Amino acid sequence: MSDFTDASSIDKAMGVMKGEAVFKFQNVNVTLPLITSSQATQGNAVVNFPIYPQITSGQVDGTESGKSTMRKITASDRQVKIDQKSTHTTVADVAYFGGANVGADLGAIMGNAVAQKFDLDVCALFADFSQTQGGASTQITLTHLFDAMRMIKSAGGIAPFSFVSNAKGIYGGKGLRPLLLDTSAVTGFSNTTPAEEFASTGFVTQIGLTGVYHSEGVIEDGSNDNPSGMFAKGAIVCAIGSQGLVNIETERDAVVGGFHIVGRGYYGVGEGQDSHGVLITHDVS
């Protein structure tokens, strides 16, 4: 007899499903740890993120015999509204009865879908950065990467920064691969620790001040250009729902003889400190 034939066992399966959804999100999602996030309080669907101006060295003018000039620090804010990003399916009773891992499998599928949607929403914000490097039909170079780091650093961004691109942008013939494995000392990083790491493990974790991350949330455009992004943590902000980031709900449908299963992500993302991010457009094909 199946373990899923009574209500209590179905409830247990849902618990497994929710746990697997959260676990899968945490393992598949790339961008959440790279940005600034805050959870909304109960009853609120908006989170406010303060954006502070920089105080320059020229504004530090106090001396032993004279007080400093008072500086007015007026913070702007970014209001990020929480939305519901959802997907659903219907599972027939016979599917539940046919396998003991159905709950965990469906939870993993739902969590994976929400995680990919989250990355897609974050990566879409790279186009909002006013600072840019590279350009259409331009292959990425080390100069683009280090100039992007310079721009973020000079604006007060706190390292380490993050560079996010898709598989072509990292592993492709016009991506990071030739920069790391090219034998030319001028164009590549050959015979360096990042190059050795890339050649031996299949990925590179760090170039200069910047961690390197792969996400298919970066979508190649119709001209074969990638809108990749480099940013400090405060360049993108995320509001998380008070009930958590990922949730699974089920509803019994006796007519169809199964359960409707809905996977939801409760979050909103937006641009934070614009000067702490750089859009790097580069040819990948």
Give tens-digit pLDDT for 119-159. 999 999 999 999 999 999 999 999 999 999 999 999 999 99
Give the dihedral sign, CA 7/250/103/12.
negative
- pLDDT at position 73 is 67
- pLDDT at position 54 is 73
The whole-number average pLDDT for the span 221-226 is 97
| Single pTM value for the model | 0.84
- pLDDT per residue as tens digits for the range 15-26: 667 777 777 777
Question: Residue 16: enclosing H or E segment and its boundaries?
Answer: helix 7-28
pLDDT category of residue 180 using cuts at 50, 70 and 90: confident
More confident residue, 48 or 16: 48
More confident residue, 201 or 84: 84
More confident residue, 60 or 17: 60
More confident residue, 92 or 3: 92
Q: Helices 7-28 & 102-123, crossing angle to 10 degrees?
A: 30
C-alpha pair distances (Å), 179 with each of 135, 169, 184, 198, 224: 17, 11, 9, 11, 19
